[in-house]
């Protein structure tokens, strides 16, 4: 079976799967055979694959292009909650070995739960998501600055 598309004004308006080319009245559009690319390019960690369909003779061809990811796209790969522009990142190894840091993280969990903010814990890190840090809380953040990292998402 072959794949066919009906294209009008550079927009696919119908798709067909049948052996023979469908017969369609010319005012409905033009029928092209849909040809799928056989090889998907392999992007690096800083690239993404962009799919495009082009008309070439009697064929509607699938093509792929590698393009560089934006700084935001790269940052979002490890970001659990994209609706937050900032996160506090704390090493779980440090938390497990430092009683003062354990107490601080417990207070963060309590505050995040009370304010309905999001937090995640992986084997390596605890992440506390937010959009800003209150000025009143900055002093305690500064007190633990050797153990925590404040990360922000790039705008674009």
- The CB-based long-range contact list for 133-141 (8 Å cut-off, 24+ gap) reads 133/86, 140/104, 141/88
The domains of the chain are located at 2-68, 73-152
Tens digit of pLDDT per residue, the chain (156 long)?
Answer: 999 999 999 899 999 999 999 998 888 999 999 999 988 899 998 999 999 999 999 999 999 999 999 888 888 888 999 999 999 999 999 999 999 999 999 999 999 999 999 999 999 999 999 999 888 888 888 999 999 999 998 876
| b/e burial code for range 13-41 (CB count within 10 A of at least 16 → b) | eeebeeeeeeeeeeeebebbebbeeeeee
- From CA 1, how far away is CA 21, in angstroms rounded? 10
pLDDT tens, position by position, 14-26? 999 999 999 988 8
| The two structure tokens encoding residue 41 | 């390019």
Q: Tell me the percentage of the chain whose pLDDT exceeds 70.
A: 99
């Amino acid at each position: 079976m072959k794949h066919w598309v009906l294209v009008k004004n550079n927009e696919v308006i119908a798709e067909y799967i049948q052996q023979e080319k469908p017969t369609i009245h010319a005012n409905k559009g033009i029928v092209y055979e849909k040809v799928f690319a056989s090889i998907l390019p392999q992007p690096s960690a800083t690239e993404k694959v962009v799919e495009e369909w082009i008309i070439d003779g009697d064929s509607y061809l699938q093509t792929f292009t590698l393009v560089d990811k934006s700084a935001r796209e790269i940052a979002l790969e490890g970001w659990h909650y994209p609706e937050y522009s900032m996160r506090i990142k704390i090493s779980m190894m440090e938390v497990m070995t430092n009683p003062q840091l354990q107490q601080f993280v417990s207070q963060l969990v309590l505050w995040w739960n009370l304010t309905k903010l999001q937090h995640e814990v992986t084997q390596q890190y605890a992440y506390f998501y937010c959009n800003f840090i209150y000025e009143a809380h900055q002093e305690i953040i500064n007190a633990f600055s050797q153990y925590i990292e404040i990360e922000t998402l790039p705008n674009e």
